[in-house]
């Protein structure tokens, strides 16, 4: 952390952050993918000691509208990292990423807050690198997969090194697209994590390790291998009791040769594909009315100036 006294900018900062999908099947807590569905945040430094927060869109009636709002908390952590907190902040948020659906809404808020803080300080780019942002975001989120993808864009591999979040970006093949099947009801990440066993069978762990390695190659060079590369044996099956229809849809799709996974902690189902429009329409029809289908491009850039 620097001890340099900061000079805050007087103008507004505007940031957009992509939705993200974590795990992608075998890459539990390490793989992330940025999706072109962006939450947007606008902030300004205030001279008064107040936190003026207004939220519209997804989750607007559920989030705190004070200094405990996740974007504000993340901004304050970013300012702290750079050396000095402001007296007050005005924040406006437009959320489009569904909450509690496994699409990285909290990662968006955290990365958005850190990016706003950096944008509101003269010389902020030099005071908080993307690597430092990933480390700070991991500290706030608890795991690095979604936040890494939200910072870097594209696909990413994230890990903890001495407790610090780190990540590298993977180039995604231009033909790969995403299709998200989003159920009406959500499942909290905490609840979904509590269902996971403390240990898994060695054979299952070995299978996931191999498939995760294959997934790197499938994402960047061989989309035809996505079905095999997205097979999971260590987390999705244990969460079935709180997302029955989602697991059933994953199983039906995979039996039909479609690379479907639970997105993050669920219950959204994510399909990675190179399918034609007709084939996509067939998938949407097969999913039925329990899911809202969203066609999503891969977001090759992470957070950016809005």
Chain segment 205-226, per-residue pLDDT in tens? 999 999 999 999 999 999 999 9
| Reported confidence tier of residue 5, pLDDT bands at 50, 70, 90 | confident
Average pLDDT in the 27-40 region? 97
Average pLDDT in the 112-141 region? 97
- For the chain, domains (ranges, CATH) are 13-171 (3.30.230.10), 177-296 (3.30.70.890)
| Separation CA 255–CA 221 (nearest Å) | 23
pTM across the whole model: 0.95
pLDDT at 236: 96
pLDDT at 178: 97
pLDDT at 3: 52
In this structure, of 36-40, 186-190, 224-228, 262-266, the range with the lowest mean pLDDT score is 186-190
Is the pLDDT at 201 greater than 90, yes or no? yes
| Separation CA 205–CA 230 (nearest Å) | 14
Is the pLDDT at 40 greater than 70, yes or no? yes
| Separation CA 88–CA 90 (nearest Å) | 7
Is the pLDDT at 72 greater than 90, yes or no? yes
In this structure, of 28-37, 59-68, 139-148, 214-223, the range with the lowest mean pLDDT score is 59-68
pLDDT at 1: 46
pLDDT at 189: 87
Is the pLDDT at 2 greater than 50, yes or no? no
Contacts of 205 (CB under 8 A, 6+ apart): 234
Is the pLDDT at 109 greater than 60, yes or no? yes
SS (H, E, C) the chain: CCCCCCCECCCCEEEEEEEEEEECCCEEEEEEEEEEEEEEEEEEEECCCCEEEEEEECCCCCCCCCCCCHHHHHHHHHHHHHCCCCCEEEEEEEECCCCCCCCCHHHHHHHHHHHHHHHCECCHHHHCCHHHHHHHHHHHHCCCHHHHHHHHCCEEEEEEECCEEEEEEECCCCCCEEEEEEECCCCCHHHHHHCCCCCCCHHHHHHHHHHHHHHHHHHHCCHHHHHHHCCCCCCHHHHHHHCHHHHHHHHHHHHCCCEEEECCCCCCEEEEECCCHHHHHHHHHHHCCCEEEEEECECCCCCEEC
- Contact between 89 and 51 (Cβ < 8 Å): yes
Q: Which residue, 170, 138, 136, 178, is CA-closest to 152?
A: 170
| Reported confidence tier of residue 285, pLDDT bands at 50, 70, 90 | very high
Mean pLDDT of the chain: 96
pLDDT at 4: 61
Model confidence pLDDT, tens digit, residues 228-262:
999 999 999 999 999 999 999 999 999 999 999 99
């Amino acid at each position: 952390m620097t001890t340099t006294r900061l000079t805050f900018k007087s103008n507004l900062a505007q940031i957009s952050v992509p939705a993200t999908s974590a795990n992608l099947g075998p890459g539990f807590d390490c793989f992330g993918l940025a999706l072109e569905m962006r939450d947007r945040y606008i902030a300004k430094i205030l001279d008064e000691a107040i936190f003026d927060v207004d939220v519209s869109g997804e989750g607007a009636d559920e989030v705190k509208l004070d200094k405990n709002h996740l974007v504000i908390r993340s901004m304050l952590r970013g300012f702290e990292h750079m050396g000095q907190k402001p007296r007050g902040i005005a924040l406006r948020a437009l959320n489009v990423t569904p909450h509690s659906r496994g699409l990285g809404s909290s990662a968006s808020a955290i990365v958005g807050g850190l990016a706003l803080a950096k944008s509101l300080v003269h010389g902020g780019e030099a005071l908080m690198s993307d690597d430092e942002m990933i480390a700070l975001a991991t500290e706030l989120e608890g795991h690095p997969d979604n936040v890494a993808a939200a910072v870097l864009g594209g696909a990413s591999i994230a890990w903890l090194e001495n407790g610090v979040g780190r990540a590298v970006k993977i180039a995604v093949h231009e033909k790969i697209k995403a299709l998200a099947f989003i159920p009406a009801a959500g499942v909290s990440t905490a609840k979904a994590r509590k269902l996971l066993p403390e240990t898994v069978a060695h054979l299952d762990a070995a299978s996931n390790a191999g498939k995760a390695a294959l997934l790197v190659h499938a994402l960047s060079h061989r989309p035809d291998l996505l079905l095999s590369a997205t097979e999971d044996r260590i987390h999705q099956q244990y969460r079935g009791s709180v997302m029955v229809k989602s697991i059933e849809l994953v199983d039906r799709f995979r039996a039909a040769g479609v690379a479907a996974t639970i997105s993050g902690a669920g219950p959204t189902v994510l399909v990675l594909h190179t399918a034609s429009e007709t084939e996509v329409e067939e998938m949407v029809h097969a999913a039925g009315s329990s899911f809202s289908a969203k066609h999503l491009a891969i977001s090759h850039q992470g957070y950016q100036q809005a």
